[in-house]
Amino acid sequence: MIVEIPEEQLLELQRQAELGRLLAGVAHEFSAPAGSILSNRDLCLRLLDRIEKSITDSATARTAELLTAARELARVDQIAAERIGHLVRNLKVASRVADPEPQRANLNEIVESAVQLGKTQFRDRITLEMALGPLPEVECYPHLLIQAVLNLVVNAGQAIEGTGTITVGTRLDGDTIHIWVSDTGRGIRDQDQPKILKQGFTTKPVGVGTGLGLLMVRRAVVDDHGGSIAFESQCGHGTTFHIRIPLQQKRKGVE
């Protein structure tokens, strides 16, 4: 017997699968700064002990060197701790199930959060660049837009074999905010382009893609924010996805 799974359940399963992959990448990213903090803390304690002894011995020059080293370790710890904090905040927003009401937000901050989370998926293989123009705040569901942009960034990374570049940009076009995600990947074949935004279609190998990722993006952008999504691609020369969010939105179900 074949049981048809409703579209909403398929989207939720896809969201959970994407979140699982995201958590795995973020967990790896946590290990480096956390290890740095712990290692530097122990070294700082040893340096402070030596500083106390050098002060007793009136070794002024040596004391200054040790203090400089301790300050540098403290600076590295602060950077590592801030990195962890940013990842935690971005992950909390991206993994949120639902916002009860839309919130006013700057979409540049949403894009930056998505890019930071996307970096955890690629390590040093791919360069992620941002070209963000000045934007006004807009009413939106931040978690849905972070998930949408993140999905496009991850898709772009999966389309790049070896090393490459992903560029994420924003600009204000009249009464619309334009977000684009461009990659230097393999591009989309001409015969696949008419099907790329349809449910269940994927060009990824079995076990990698479900064909629901771009459907999630379309639902978040079009249905939940009254926006639009389009793309341009040339096989062998990369792909650019375009999201447009109106400043004054008319979401699905809202008169």
Full 3-state SS string of 3-40: CCCCHHHHHHHHHHHHHHHHHHHHHHHHHHHHHHHHHH
Under CATH, which number does the domain 103-246 receive? 3.30.565.10
Counting Cα atoms < 13 Å in the Cβ hemisphere of 78 gives: 6
CA distance 183 to 164: 8
CA distance 242 to 197: 13
CA distance 66 to 39: 17
pLDDT for residue 207:
42
Structure tokens belonging to residue 131: 């070209």
pLDDT for residue 241:
95
Q: Which pLDDT tens digits describe the chain residue by residue (255 residues)? A: 343 445 555 555 555 555 655 665 665 666 666 667 767 777 777 777 777 666 655 556 666 677 777 777 777 776 666 666 666 666 665 555 555 678 899 999 999 988 888 887 787 889 999 999 999 999 998 888 988 898 899 889 988 988 999 999 999 999 999 999 999 999 988 888 887 776 544 555 444 443 446 777 888 888 889 999 999 998 888 999 999 999 986 654 443
pLDDT for residue 208:
44
Q: Hey, what's the torsion of the CAs at 195, 149, 33, 63, to 10 degrees?
A: 140
CB neighbour class for 91 (10 Å; exposed up to 12, middle 13-18, buried from 19): buried
**How much is the pTM?**
0.64
Q: SS3 of 245, please?
A: strand
Q: Which residues pair with 84 in a beta bridge?
A: none
Sign of the dihedral through C-alpha 109, 115, 118, 119: negative
The angle at the Cα of 209, spanning 206 to 213, to the nearest 5 degrees, equals 165
CA distance 77 to 71: 10
* Residues in Cβ contact with 100 at an 8 Å cutoff, skipping those fewer than 6 apart: none
Q: How many residues does the chain have?
A: 255
